[in-house]
């Protein structure tokens, strides 16, 4: 029987849920807003979060957040009862082993925790495995465990030839996350690996993680890369990850607003927002098969349209958010590392090179720089030194002028730095550059004519799972735009042809093609 206190709380929460609007123009769901209020210890804000919200993540999620509030108040007996109800309504049992850890740990310490439905069936790996940073000779595999463990990977099915990675100790200090680094592989080769604790398989019958290494750098090849941003948490649209997986892309670029947090000073909300996505079965299937490459934008780094300034340690939350970001991905790099934090890096696939940009950490409107001097120099030097057939500059926000009229949040806010990049391409006679971006909640293809260079094409997509949608802005260079359903961008490269090409496709959440454009290397050459 529920106690009278928890009965009142549960009934109130469920009644509020019945009156929630099922659609609207805001992306932020009531449960995330309640988590923000909980992190701030705002009673009024917590209650207000459930009044006429625009997005509803469901009764089970409401109960989960209500449980977290009870835990914050040390009412663990009542929290156990609410947890049971949340499990009955479909909350994945793995959520109770994840963040925010300072609260869920109280639940796990309760004597009745083990008797909750499904808890005894939770395996040692609660999030992942996630593939990342696949190269011609290596790869990374990210996981999160449900408690302190030490694991390693066995690479290879033949015991005589199999090799082990270094062991990783998963602990509270790293939020029980870790990245296995696989090295010394052969190019363009199928690889099978297994997570092990000593000699014990962690996933009997289904433990294999498989992937194919990249072709040697510079090799002409054909492959597919999907991308998008704007991945707000809307349970009914989480099947997007299965849709993308069905196209069998060789990589997925997550271009910011990968989760909606908007609370840089309270890492509790980061842990909550990451863990609810990471526990989704659709997401877990996806990241196990498709290598993920990520950068952040305003909603998963700071707050809406944030301009944090050029300093490394100010505001003080910058480095904490950066560390949390690193804990949740398996990227090739993170800016300049500890001395120069950020999320920029580059990586090749065959003879195509991708330059992933950080548009937030050093954003300085007064100084006129989105990238900061260190990242800008890295980008310009990288473009100059690249011998790739296609050089793909990937930004969290659009370069195209007037794409968000009246706003300085896209590159329109930094026109001089944008021009430095574009002029550098022309002055140094760099062929093969095109642009990819996110931020606008739709999928667009646009082009910018350059008087002294070739036309710069920009492929934009940022409505992976968002409720909130943006109208298609009709700039002079609009080729096509789509905003009726959630969608993603797909790039199909074929550099084996005499005139190498990339085909841009807009694909909606149901797998239907909504836009198609062929771009050839000969279109991206200076006269």
Tens of pLDDT, residues 349-370: 999 999 999 999 999 999 999 9
Residue 223 has pLDDT above 50, yes or no: yes
Model confidence band, residue 206 (pLDDT cutoffs 50, 70, 90): low
Lowest mean pLDDT among 12-16, 31-35, 144-148, 174-178: 12-16
C-alpha to C-alpha distance for 36 and 33, rounded to whole angstroms:
5
C-alpha to C-alpha distance for 294 and 325, rounded to whole angstroms:
9
C-alpha to C-alpha distance for 133 and 292, rounded to whole angstroms:
8
122, 110 Cβ separation under 8 angstroms? no
pLDDT tens per residue, range 389-419: 999 999 999 999 999 999 999 999 999 999 9
pLDDT recorded at residue 44: 92
132, 331 Cβ separation under 8 angstroms? yes
DSSP state of 157: S
Q: Average pLDDT, stretch 454-473? A: 97
Phi then psi dihedrals of residue 144, to 5 deg:
-125, 135
More confident residue, 160 or 465: 465
What's the token pair of residue 68? 């977290």
Model confidence band, residue 23 (pLDDT cutoffs 50, 70, 90): very low
- What is the gyration radius of the CA atoms in the chain, in angstroms? 23
**DSSP H or E segment with residue 420:** helix 415-427
Model confidence band, residue 11 (pLDDT cutoffs 50, 70, 90): very low
DSSP state of 165: P
Residue 205 has pLDDT above 90, yes or no: no
Residue 91 has pLDDT above 60, yes or no: yes
Model confidence band, residue 158 (pLDDT cutoffs 50, 70, 90): low
Residue 70 has pLDDT above 90, yes or no: yes
Q: What is the mean pLDDT of the chain?
A: 93
Q: Which residues does residue 222 pair with via DSSP β-bridges, in sequence order?
A: 494
Phi then psi dihedrals of residue 126, to 5 deg:
-100, -25
pLDDT tens per residue, range 274-320: 999 999 999 999 999 999 999 999 999 999 999 999 999 999 999 99
SS3 at position 17: helix
pLDDT recorded at residue 204: 53
Angle value at C-alpha 141, between 331 and 271, nearest 5 degrees: 70
Q: At what angle do helices 267-278 and 101-108 cross, to 10 degrees?
A: 60
Q: From start to end of 133-268, where are the E strands?
A: 139-145, 149-155, 163-164, 168-170, 177-182, 190-197, 200-201, 208-212, 222-228, 251-255
Residue 167 neighbours by CB distance under 10 Å: 14
pLDDT recorded at residue 13: 47
Largest Cα separation within the chain, whole Å, is 78
More confident residue, 199 or 295: 295
C-alpha to C-alpha distance for 149 and 202, rounded to whole angstroms:
12
Model confidence band, residue 498 (pLDDT cutoffs 50, 70, 90): very high
Q: Is the peptide bond before 386 cis (omega within 30 degrees of 0)?
A: no
Model confidence band, residue 208 (pLDDT cutoffs 50, 70, 90): confident
SS3 at position 516: strand
Q: Average pLDDT, stretch 23-33? A: 73
322, 338 Cβ separation under 8 angstroms? no
Residue 159 has pLDDT above 80, yes or no: no
pLDDT recorded at residue 52: 77
Lowest mean pLDDT among 155-164, 263-272, 318-327: 155-164
Q: Average pLDDT, stretch 450-473? A: 97
Q: Which residue has the tokens 């349970």?
A: 235
SS3 at position 60: helix
Measured between alpha carbons, how far apart are the two ends of the chain, in Å?
Answer: 78
- Which conformational region is residue 309 in: left (phi greater than 0), alpha (psi within -120 to 50 degrees), or beta? left
523, 455 Cβ separation under 8 angstroms? yes
C-alpha to C-alpha distance for 130 and 144, rounded to whole angstroms:
10
Q: Which residues does residue 127 pair with via DSSP β-bridges, in sequence order?
A: 144
Residue 172 has pLDDT above 50, yes or no: yes
Q: Average pLDDT, stretch 408-432? A: 98
């Amino acid at each position: 029987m529920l106690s009278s206190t928890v009965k009142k709380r549960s009934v109130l929460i469920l009644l509020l849920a019945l009156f929630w609007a099922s659609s609207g123009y805001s992306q932020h769901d009531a449960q995330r807003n309640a988590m923000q209020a909980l992190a701030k210890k705002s009673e009024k804000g917590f209650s207000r979060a459930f009044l006429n919200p625009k997005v509803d993540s469901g009764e089970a999620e409401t109960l989960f957040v209500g449980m977290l509030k009870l835990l914050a108040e040390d009412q663990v007996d009542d929290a156990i009862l609410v947890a049971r109800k949340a499990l009955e309504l479909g909350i994945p049992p793995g959520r109770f082993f994840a963040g925010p850890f300072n609260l869920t740990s109280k639940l796990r310490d309760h004597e009745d925790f083990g008797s909750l439905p499904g808890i005894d069936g939770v395996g040692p790996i609660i999030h992942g495995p996630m593939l990342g940073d696949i190269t011609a000779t290596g790869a990374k595999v990210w996981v999160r465990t449900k408690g302190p463990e030490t694991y390693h990977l066995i690479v290879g099915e033949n015991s005589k030839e199999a090799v082990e990675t270094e062991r990783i100790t998963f602990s509270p200090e790293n939020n029980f996350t870790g990245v296995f680094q696989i090295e010394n592989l052969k190019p363009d080769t199928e690889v099978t690996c297994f997570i092990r604790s000593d000699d014990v398989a962690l996933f009997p019958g289904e433990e294999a993680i498989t992937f194919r290494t990249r072709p040697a750098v510079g090799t002409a090849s054909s492959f597919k890369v999907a991308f998008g941003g704007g991945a707000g948490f809307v349970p009914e649209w989480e099947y997007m990850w299965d849709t993308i997986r069905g196209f069998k892309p060789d990589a997925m670029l997550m271009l910011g607003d990968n989760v909606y947090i908007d609370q840089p000073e309270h890492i509790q909300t980061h842990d909550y927002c990451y863990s609810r996505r990471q526990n989704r079965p659709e997401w877990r299937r996806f990241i196990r098969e498709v290598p993920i490459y990520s950068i952040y934008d305003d909603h998963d780094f700071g707050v809406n349209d944030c301009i944090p300034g050029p300093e490394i340690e100010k505001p003080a939350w910058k480095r904490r958010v950066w560390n949390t970001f690193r804990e949740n991905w398996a990227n090739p790099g993170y800016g300049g590392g500890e001395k120069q934090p950020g999320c920029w890096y580059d990586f090749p696939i065959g003879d195509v090179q991708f330059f992933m940009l950080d548009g937030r950490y050093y954003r300085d409107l007064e100084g006129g720089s989105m990238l900061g001097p260190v990242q800008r120099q890295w980008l310009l030097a990288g473009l100059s030194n690249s011998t790739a057939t296609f050089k793909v500059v990937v930004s969290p926000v659009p370069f195209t002028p007037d794409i968000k009229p009246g706003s300085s949040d896209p590159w329109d806010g930094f026109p001089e730095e944008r021009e430095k990049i574009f002029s550098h391409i022309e002055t140094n006679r760099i062929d093969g550059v095109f642009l990819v971006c996110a931020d606008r909640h739709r999928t667009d293809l646009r082009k910018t004519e350059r008087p002294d260079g070739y036309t710069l094409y920009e492929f934009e997509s940022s409505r992976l799972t968002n409720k909130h949608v943006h109208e298609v802005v009709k700039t002079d260079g609009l080729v096509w735009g789509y905003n009726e359903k959630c969608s993603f961008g797909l790039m199909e490269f074929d550099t084996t042809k005499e005139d190498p090409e990339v085909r841009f496709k807009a694909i909606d959440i149901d797998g239907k093609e909504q836009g198609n454009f062929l771009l050839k290397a000969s279109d991206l050459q200076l006269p």
